[in-house]
Structure 1
Amino acid sequence: MCGPCCGIGPVFTCSGCGSIDEPYADGRCTRCVLQVRVQGLLSDETGHLDPRLQPVADILTGAARPKSVLHWLGHSTAARLLSRLTATPAGLTHELLDALPQEPRNRYVRGLLVSAGIAPDRDETLAQTELWVASTIAELPAGRRGVVHAFADWHTLKTARRQAARGRYTAGSASQDRTEILRAIDFLDWLDTQNLTLSRARQGDLEHWLDQAPGHRRGLVAFIRWARLRNLADLTLPAPRTALPQHFLDDAEMHTQLRRCLTETALPLDVRITGALVCLYALPASRIAALTADDFTQDETGSYLTSAPAPSCCHHGSPSSSGT
């Protein structure tokens, strides 16, 4: 039952708005307390709220769960950052936030300002990539900064902006772009340890580095192609190594292995059966593993193993090479 129904209505009547609700503080309901605290957060020292900040106040006070916003105001570092930034409402721009460390609280405040219409909407994934590129290049030694900056600006970011214009620049795209730039930096760092420059590097140097870090090949493709097209290096990324078979059994060895499968009782029966099927029919292990007892049948004409749409005939207890 509510307070008035229990005969104690005044206790549950908000002194601010007059609604019947559970009091939160100073005899006021949660919504009224939230309005007061948001006003204090966004106002200047005289208690004046700049009209340009009113959309932010409306978003915070209009939240569906005012208690959650009150908790955020009291404990979140993002709320304290917002309070500092609103001291100069005219300066609330993306450029101001870009100059700050790109931390979660920064991203939250940015999203709040965009939602309020104070900061314009933008492709944040692309913008964060551009900021990352700028900070990463700034930390490089002067000797490597020029090449990486040219590659990032004229290849990576140019492609990223083209994708963003079509609405196709995703978080995965940004991750791949960062990987390409990092692999380029890794390769240039290695060349420096070898007292080499990009222009003096030879094909053997590139292949030697890839042997040491084979997982970096994919991320280096774009940089090597870009450097070659601009005559910065005479390098070609070698084709990836394939996993094609390299070791084969001759006929004599094959017969020896088959004889073991047929006669060596010390081997487990499932190993003998599997080995015999491989030697006789070259059945892949995946198909052998899928065989069941129902795939083997016997009648007056012989024994049959169905390993494919057409049955394999097994006359007189030994498989035949026909009908696989």
Structure 2
Amino acid sequence: MATELIPLAAALKSMKRANSGMTWIRQKHVTAFLRNLATAPKISHDTFDELPDSRTREYVRGLLIEHGVLPQRNAFLIRYESWATQAMERVSDPQNLDVIRRYIRWHHQRRMNLMDEVPRGTFLRAKQEVTVAIDLLNWLTGHDIKLPELQQSHLDVWQSEGPTTRRIAERFLKWAIKTKAAPAGLTIVPHRRGTSPRLPKIGQDKALQQIIHTNALETRDRAAAILILVFGQQAENIARLTWDDVTVTEDLVTIQLGTTKIALPDPLAQPWRELAANPGHELTAAHPNTKWVFRGTSPGRHIHPGHLTTRLSKLFNTRAARLGTLHELTKLAPVAIIAETLGYSPTTIERHATDSASAYARYIAAVNESVLHESPRN
């Protein structure tokens, strides 16, 4: 069985700085883990699952996947199944446990099983929806209310007493009504669109100038920031970019975000040229031949979107910047073109366009009101 670890040892030796790999492997907790692994009858995902859960376990698993010892697997689906098993232990009423089990299995897991690879966003949303659903069901149990007896007044009290994330229960409620687990006609007060803060145009311009003309951020962070401030891209989509999506020549840098390639003029192209010349993986064991533009700390994985937004938060809030950029872009081009070019759904861009037009209409109304109140002399 130990021979199956030879590719891992060879990968560590092939690193540009092999000493860093040996330093890692000599750590007590790493040595102990590898010793346990070496005594197992065979290396498989089941073998790893039987070992104590730890960051070392998942890191070594990732290394072996990256070097062909273990097959690829739908990691977020496995993680969700494990998480859901533990989450169900928090349900306080047996009848509600049956409801939440069906919700997990037939609403979330069935959809995930149809995916080639479950995206991180889908995994996180599913966890959040189940968490809020359990919160609602436990609240009902605490107030001696059965789900089939749920009334709108109960829902209103529950939602008003808790955080704004309770609105996410709307998705569980729709499923419960559809499956006749809850009475029809119940609603959750939805989130009012357009209430999230936007970075104004002057703030966008200031942040972009800092990125272009200063060293406030590292090269890869500057490259990512440009995609948010200029093209309104989400951190999750930026993190998934590969070098197949980027073309760097002596004359031109292009990036494919939607269906067409977008050319980056200088000086916006400069951070991307620097990143292409020095991508940073440098033959590490975790990323021997990676295609990820923004490599992560886990073997074969791209950067965690949350980690990327944290790095960029030194200069701006990524969500506010993205919303501000989309707000401005909808003033400049038709919805269909923006959606197709940037990889957004037309519905999403239409919503921003409507909001942008509404803001402009309010501005015109304010100007007209001002003119009407001016004196004839003025």
> What is the TM-score normalised by the length of structure 1?
0.56
How many residues are treated as equivalent by the alignment?
A: 209
Which residue identity lines up with residue 191 of structure 1 in the other structure? L
Match of 1:228 among 177, 183, 195: 177
- Whether the aligned pair in 2 keeps the contact of 1:50 and 1:89 (CA below 8 Å) is no
Are residues 141 and 210 of structure 1, via their aligned partners in 2, closer, same or farther at CA, if it must alter by over 3 Å? closer
Which residue, out of 135, 142, 146, partners 1:197?
Answer: 146
Deviation at 1:108, TM superposition (A): 0.2
* Kept in 1: contact 2:167–2:191 (CA 8 A): no
1:110 and 2:61 aligned: yes
1:1-324 counterparts in 2 under 5 A? Answer: 50-75=2-27, 77-90=29-42, 92-141=43-92, 143=94, 144-162=96-114, 164-165=115-116, 167=117, 169-213=118-162, 215-235=164-184, 236-240=186-190, 287=363, 307=367, 314-317=374-377
Partner Cα distance (1:141, 1:196) in 2: 13
CA distance in 1: counterparts of 2:90 and 2:192, whole angstroms: 38
Please give the alpha-carbon distance, in whole angstroms, between the structure 1 residues aligned to 2:38 and 2:97: 37
SS in 2 for 1:112: helix
Q: Matches of 1:75 and 1:222 in 2, distance apart? A: 46
- Using a 3 Å threshold, how does the CA distance of structure 1 residues 116 and 241 change in structure 2: closer, same or farther? closer
The Cα offsets for residues 177-209 of structure 1, whole Å up to 9 and x where unpaired, read as 100000110001100110112122222211221
Question: Which is bigger in relative contact order (C-alpha 8 A, separation at least 6)?
Answer: 2
Q: Structure 2: which amino acid aligns with 1:130? A: E
Q: Quote the Cα distance in structure 2 between the aligned partners of 1:121 and 1:315.
A: 75
Distance in 1 separating the partners of 2:40 and 2:83:
27
| C-alpha distance in structure 2 between counterparts of 1:316 and 1:225, whole Å | 59
1:86 Cα deviation (Å)?
A: 1.4
RMSD: 3.3
Post-superposition shift, 1:83? 2.1
Query: How has the CA–CA distance of structure 1 residues 96 and 146 changed in structure 2, closer, same or farther, with 3 Å as cutoff?
Result: farther
Deviations 1:233-258 (A, max 9, x none): 105224437699xxxxxxxxxxxxxx
Whether the aligned pair in 2 keeps the contact of 1:198 and 1:233 (CA below 8 Å) is: yes
Letter matched to residue 149 of structure 1? R
Q: Residues of 2 paired with 1:242 and 1:52: CA distance?
A: 55
Superposition deviation, residue 74 in structure 1? 1.7
Larger-gyration structure (1/2): 1
Q: Name the SS for the 1:64 alignment partner.
A: coil
Measured at CA, do residues 197 and 75 of structure 1 come closer, stay the same or move farther in structure 2, by a change above 3 Å?
A: same
Q: Sequence identity, in percent?
A: 24
Q: CA offset at residue 79 of structure 1?
A: 3.9
Give me the whole-angstrom Cα distance separating, in 1, the residues matched to 2:191 and 2:24: 54
Q: Deviations over 1:266-318 (max 9, x none)?
A: xxxxxxxxxxxxxxxxx99x959xxxxxxxxxxxxxxxxx958xx88955445
